[in-house]
């Protein structure tokens, strides 16, 4: 029983190590950091002339 | 042979821990208290700036006279000079708490009104939390020689930014943006407070856009899935006085 | 060691332990809430309720990190065993602090609305199909539910009612709670509300907990995979030289596919008992003979080494094993005797002059 308990313990922490490091890493990687910043993109002629006019 | 060195053994119910362990335990306790203090100071002193958003309690109860637009979300159209601005101003309005103003503004759409309440401010942005004595009522003394300017069409754009609720962003909460605040923002939007789009880069000097659907009506509840994420959206941009309105199709939303 | 149940048995160690814990919590909350704000570079301060929610929430996270580090630390270095002794109080305190966190959040983010604040947690954000944007609050609620169950069942009454094996299995739920809280923090606070220090501290905490557990797991695995030779009958296992066992201490022998056995030396006498304490399955072989009884290193439960019975009025008993001495080597019979069976100690003349 104790041996099984210790084995379960080991297995749990191997799995947790993988899952939690992956989760935390992914969540931090996907975090919007400003690298995604994009200026407004005009999509039709009115928008383009507005953009021209503002320059 | 058995060694002669001390063999400390801790027993919880014993009067005291063994002498040779006392120093170690004291050290561990000191390290833990020190670490707690250090971590608390490090985190607490490095919180991100939630911005200059606030209730303008200092300005007290204020009353404005202008016109009300009920769509897409209730806003006041104020003449130049009202509220200390030298140009006509379109100002979003909200109810008290997480409630919008649709019920009161709807029947008064396009009519001259008096609106009273407390201002929310974030830099140049403002919003009126309507309530109290005046609330929103037909104007007792409408402003003479004033009718709101027609809406100006600025074309179709793709903008990048975050959907927030107009009230928390404008001043009701600090911080009032981001995923940690998403549930609160959804609360507000469900309650009828206007969703707004805060862009990462300005368009014609504005980073603050009132959202509407393609027909200029309030957005469907689908918007709640996109709140607080960094996304791009496509739609028509129009301007009422100094307020930008972004009429979007939520199907164009892309998470970045 | 209790013969009857009282709400909490206090002793000096527990009092000192709790005072230190309260000092840690007090230092953390006091500095976070009252000192740190004066050093912030913010245009305007964070809303008071949100700031307090952050203080309590982060405090819970770091306490949980500490709680989860105690077990493996004590396996790796026995000097940390005293931290294990009253870990349950630490857990209960952490759970209580978590409720403060929830109360501040519900009283601010989930308030000022016609929607019921308790119901709202489950209906206001339904982006279950997203990673970023997932209603991370629910992860926190699940963790709080687990912590509450563990806090309520932390008393020895439940330990005896459920028996140690089931109780320990239930209380391994804290690992799941920790995993949920990592998700809760990663998808919530770390996405927007946290500064760089909080992000780094979360990463360090997780790394610490995982590293300690993997190191302890490796150590236990090495002990479990030690092979001792069996004799021809298959019943007797070589247990080494009796002289290598320090006086009042034990050697732990791993038996294939079964419990470990602790062979204790008390002066010239040698006895073998199960390595598993009847209280919380603590490692008796890492204990010591005090006042003539084997004393568990975890909570100080005691057993007479000859028959594996706790001295009256206590009633705990554990298995004993037969040993024999043949030409200077100890041999252990791997078949456990029924708990509480008396076995005459083996006398080894060579160990007579031990300390």
Summarised one tens digit per residue, pLDDT across range B165-221 is: 999 999 999 999 999 999 999 999 999 999 999 999 999 999 999 999 999 999 999
Of the candidates B145, B150, B31, B154, the residue with the CA atom closest to the CA atom of residue B90: B150
**Contacting residues for C166 by C-beta, under 8 A, at least 6 apart:** none
Cβ–Cβ under 8 Å, residues C296 and A38: no
> Which chains are adjacent to chain B, needing at least 3 Cβ pairs under 8 Å?
A, C
Rounded to an integer, what is the distance from CA B178 to the centroid of its chain? 9
Cβ distance of A36 and B200 shorter than 8 Å = yes
Answer whether residue B4 shows pLDDT above 90. no
**A18 shares contact with chain C (CB less than 8 Å):** no
Q: For residue B241, how many C-alpha atoms fall within 13 Å in the half-sphere facing its CB?
A: 22
C55 CB neighbours in chain B (<8 A) are 40, 44
Q: Residue B2's pLDDT band (boundaries 50, 70, 90)?
A: very low
The residue of chain C nearest to residue B191, with distances taken between CA atoms, is: C113
**Contacting residues for C124 by C-beta, under 8 A, at least 6 apart:** B183, B186, B187, B190, B224, C110, C115, C135
Strands B89-94 and B125-130: parallel
The residue of chain B nearest to residue A40, with distances taken between CA atoms, is: B159
Cβ distance of C132 and A23 shorter than 8 Å = no
Query: Position of tokens 């026995």?
Result: C78
Cβ distance of B186 and C124 shorter than 8 Å = yes
pLDDT on residue C352: 46
Task: Give the bridge partners for C107, in sequence order.
Answer: none
pLDDT on residue B116: 95
* Span between the terminal Cα atoms of chain B, in Å: 69
A21 CB neighbours in chain C (<8 A) are 206, 210
Q: How many CB pairs under 8 A join A and B?
A: 54
Cβ distance of B156 and A37 shorter than 8 Å = no
Cβ–Cβ under 8 Å, residues C1 and C11: no
Of the candidates C255, C254, C299, C248, the residue with the CA atom closest to the CA atom of residue C271: C248
Instruction: Tell me the average pLDDT across C34-58.
Output: 95
The residue of chain C nearest to residue A9, with distances taken between CA atoms, is: C217
Strands B136-138 and B75-78: unpaired
Q: Which chain B residues in 170-199 lie under 8 Å from chain A, judged by CB atoms?
A: 199
d(C-alpha B35, C-alpha B28), whole Å = 10
The residue of chain B nearest to residue C243, with distances taken between CA atoms, is: B1
Q: How many CB pairs under 8 A join B and C?
A: 227
Cβ distance of A40 and B234 shorter than 8 Å = no
Residues in chain A: 55
A43 CB neighbours in chain B (<8 A) are 155-158, 234
Site from C1, C109, C302 to mutate, B interface, most B CB atoms within 10 angstroms: C109
Of the candidates C355, C346, C291, C304, the residue with the CA atom closest to the CA atom of residue C324: C346
- Phi/psi at A33 (5° precision): -115, 0
Cβ–Cβ under 8 Å, residues C12 and B14: no
3-state secondary structure chain B: CCCCCCCCCCCCCCCCCCHHHHHHHHHHHHHHHHHHHHHHHHHHHCCCCCCCEEECHHHCCEEEEEEEECCCCCEEEECCCHHHCCCCEEEEEECCCCCCCHHHHHHHCCCEEEEEEEEEEECCEEEEEECCCCCEEECCCCCCCCCCCCCEEEEEEEEEEEEEEHHHHHHHCCCCCCHHHHHHHHHHHHCCCCEEEEEEEEECCEEEEEEEECCCCCCCHHHHHHECCEEEEEEEEEEECCEEEEEECHHHCEEC
Whole-model pTM: value is 0.91
Instruction: Tell me the average pLDDT across B4-14.
Output: 75
Q: Residue C5's pLDDT band (boundaries 50, 70, 90)?
A: low
**A33 shares contact with chain B (CB less than 8 Å):** no
> Which chains are adjacent to chain C, needing at least 3 Cβ pairs under 8 Å?
A, B
pLDDT on residue C4: 52
d(C-alpha B63, C-alpha C180), whole Å = 49
Among the partner-chain residues B158, B199, B201, the one whose CB lies closest to the CB of A43 is: B158
Among the partner-chain residues B50, B224, B228, the one whose CB lies closest to the CB of C42 is: B50
Cβ distance of C36 and B255 shorter than 8 Å = no
Instruction: Tell me the average pLDDT across C246-267.
Output: 86
Answer whether residue B140 shows pLDDT above 70. yes
Buried b (16+ CB within 10 A) or exposed e, C84-95: bbbbbbbbbbbb
**Nearest-CA distance C174 → chain A (Å):** 12
Of the candidates C265, C262, C271, C261, the residue with the CA atom closest to the CA atom of residue C246: C265
C-alpha dihedral, C31 to C36 to C37 to C40, nearest 10°: -170
The residue of chain C nearest to residue A7, with distances taken between CA atoms, is: C221
**Nearest-CA distance B74 → chain C (Å):** 19
C-alpha dihedral, C64 to C68 to C70 to C71, nearest 10°: 150
- Phi/psi at B200 (5° precision): -80, -20
Interface of C with A (CB under 8 A): 131-132, 165, 168, 172, 175, 178-179, 182-183, 186-187, 190-191, 199, 202-203, 206, 210, 213-214, 217, 220-221, 224, 257-260, 275-276, 281
Query: Position of tokens 């609620």?
Result: C141
A39 CB neighbours in chain B (<8 A) are 201
Angle at C135 between CA C129 and CA C140, to 5 degrees: 130
C172 CB neighbours in chain A (<8 A) are 8-9, 12
pLDDT on residue C1: 47
Question: Chain-wide mean pLDDT for chain C?
Answer: 90
C-alpha R_g of chain A: 26
d(C-alpha C134, C-alpha C125), whole Å = 8
What are B232's two structure tokens?
Answer: 């791009």
Mean pLDDT check: name the lowest of C133-142, C155-164, C206-215.
C155-164
Q: Residue B124's pLDDT band (boundaries 50, 70, 90)?
A: confident
- Phi/psi at C353 (5° precision): -90, 20
**Contacting residues for C280 by C-beta, under 8 A, at least 6 apart:** C159, C164, C167, C168, C298, C299
Site from A1, A7, A27 to mutate, C interface, most C CB atoms within 10 angstroms: A27
pLDDT on residue B47: 94
Among the partner-chain residues A3, A14, A28, the one whose CB lies closest to the CB of C224 is: A3
**B206 shares contact with chain A (CB less than 8 Å):** no
Answer whether residue C199 shows pLDDT above 80. yes
Q: Residue B5, Cβ neighbours under 10 Å: how many?
A: 9
Instruction: Tell me the average pLDDT across B82-103.
Output: 91
Instruction: Tell me the average pLDDT across C170-192.
Output: 95
Q: Residue A14, Cβ neighbours under 10 Å: how many?
A: 14
- The DSSP output letter for C310 is P
Share of chain C above pLDDT 90, in %: 58
Answer whether residue A36 shows pLDDT above 70. no
Query: Position of tokens 């006498």?
Result: C269
Phi-psi region of C352 (alpha: psi -120 to 50; beta: other; left: phi over 0): alpha
Q: For residue C167, how many C-alpha atoms fall within 13 Å in the half-sphere facing its CB?
A: 18
Cβ–Cβ under 8 Å, residues B249 and B220: no
Among the partner-chain residues C172, C183, C257, the one whose CB lies closest to the CB of A3 is: C257
The residue of chain A nearest to residue C180, with distances taken between CA atoms, is: A20
């Amino acid at each position: 029983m104790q041996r099984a308990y210790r084995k379960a313990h080991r297995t749990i922490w191997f799995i947790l190590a993988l899952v939690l490091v992956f989760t935390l890493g992914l969540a931090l990687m996907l975090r919007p950091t400003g690298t995604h910043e994009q200026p407004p993109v005009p999509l039709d002629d009115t928008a383009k002339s507005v953009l021209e006019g503002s320059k | 042979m058995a060694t002669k060195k001390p063999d400390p053994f801790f027993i919880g119910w014993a009067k005291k821990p063994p002498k040779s362990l006392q120093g170690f335990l004291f050290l561990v306790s000191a390290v833990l208290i020190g670490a707690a203090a250090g971590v608390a100071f490090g985190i607490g002193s490095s919180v991100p700036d939630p911005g200059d958003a606030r209730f303008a309690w200092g300005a007290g109860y204020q009353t404005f006279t202008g016109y009300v637009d009920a769509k897409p979300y209730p806003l006041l159209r104020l003449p130049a000079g009202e509220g200390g601005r030298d140009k006509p101003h379109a100002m979003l309005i909200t109810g008290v708490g997480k409630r919008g103003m649709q019920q009161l503004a709807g029947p008064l759409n396009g009519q001259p009104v008096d609106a009273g309440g407390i201002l929310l401010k974030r830099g140049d942005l403002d919003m009126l939390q309507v309530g109290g004595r005046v609330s929103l009522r037909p104007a007792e003394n409408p402003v003479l020689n004033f009718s709101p300017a027609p809406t100006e069409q600025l074309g179709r754009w793709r903008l990048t930014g975050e959907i927030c609720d107009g009230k928390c962003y404008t001043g009701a909460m600090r911080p009032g943006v981001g995923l940690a605040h998403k549930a609160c923002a959804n609360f507000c939007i469900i309650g009828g407070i206007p969703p707004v789009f805060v862009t990462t880069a300005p368009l014609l000097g504005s980073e603050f856009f009132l959202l509407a659907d393609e027909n200029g009506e309030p957005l469907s509840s689908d918007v709640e899935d996109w709140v607080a994420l960094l996304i791009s959206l496509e739609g028509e941009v129009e301007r009422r006085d100094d307020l930008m309105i972004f009429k979007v199709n939520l199907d164009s939303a892309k998470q970045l | 060691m209790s013969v009857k149940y009282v709400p909490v048995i206090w002793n000096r160690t527990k009092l000192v332990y709790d005072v230190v814990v309260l000092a840690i919590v007090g230092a953390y909350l006091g500095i976070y809430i009252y000192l740190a704000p004066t050093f912030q570079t913010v245009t305007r301060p964070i809303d008071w309720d949100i700031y307090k929610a952050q203080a309590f929430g982060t405090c819970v996270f770091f306490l949980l990190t500490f709680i989860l580090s105690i077990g493996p630390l004590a396996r790796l270095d026995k000097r940390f065993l005293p931290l294990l002794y009253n870990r349950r109080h630490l857990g209960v305190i952490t759970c209580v602090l978590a409720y403060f966190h929830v109360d501040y959040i519900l009283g601010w983010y989930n308030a000022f609305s016609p929607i019921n604040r308790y119901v709202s947690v489950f209906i206001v954000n339904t982006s279950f199909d997203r990673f970023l944007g997932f209603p991370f609050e629910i992860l926190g609620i699940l963790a709080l539910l687990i912590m509450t169950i563990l806090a309520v069942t932390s008393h020895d009454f439940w330990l005896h009612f459920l028996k140690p094996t089931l109780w320990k299995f239930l209380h391994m739920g804290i690992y799941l709670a920790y995993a949920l809280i990592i998700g809760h923090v990663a998808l919530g606070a770390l996405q927007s509300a946290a500064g760089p220090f909080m992000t780094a501290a979360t990463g360090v905490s997780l790394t610490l907990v995982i590293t300690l557990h993997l190191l302890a797991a490796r150590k236990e695995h090495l002990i479990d995979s030690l092979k001792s030779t069996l004799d021809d009958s298959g019943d007797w296992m070589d247990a080494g030289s009796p002289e290598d066992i320090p006086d009042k201490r034990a050697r732990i022998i791993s038996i294939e596919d079964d419990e470990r056995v602790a062979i204790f030396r008390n002066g010239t006498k040698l006895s073998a008992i199960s390595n598993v304490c009847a209280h919380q399955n603590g490692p008796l072989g890492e204990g010591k003979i005090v006042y003539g009884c084997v004393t568990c290193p975890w909570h100080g439960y005691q057993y007479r080494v000859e028959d594996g019975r706790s001295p009256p009025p206590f009633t705990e008993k554990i298995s004993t094993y037969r040993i024999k001495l043949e030409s200077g080597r100890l041999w252990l019979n791997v078949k456990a005797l029924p708990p509480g069976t008396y076995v005459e100690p083996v006398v080894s003349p060579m160990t007579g002059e031990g300390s």
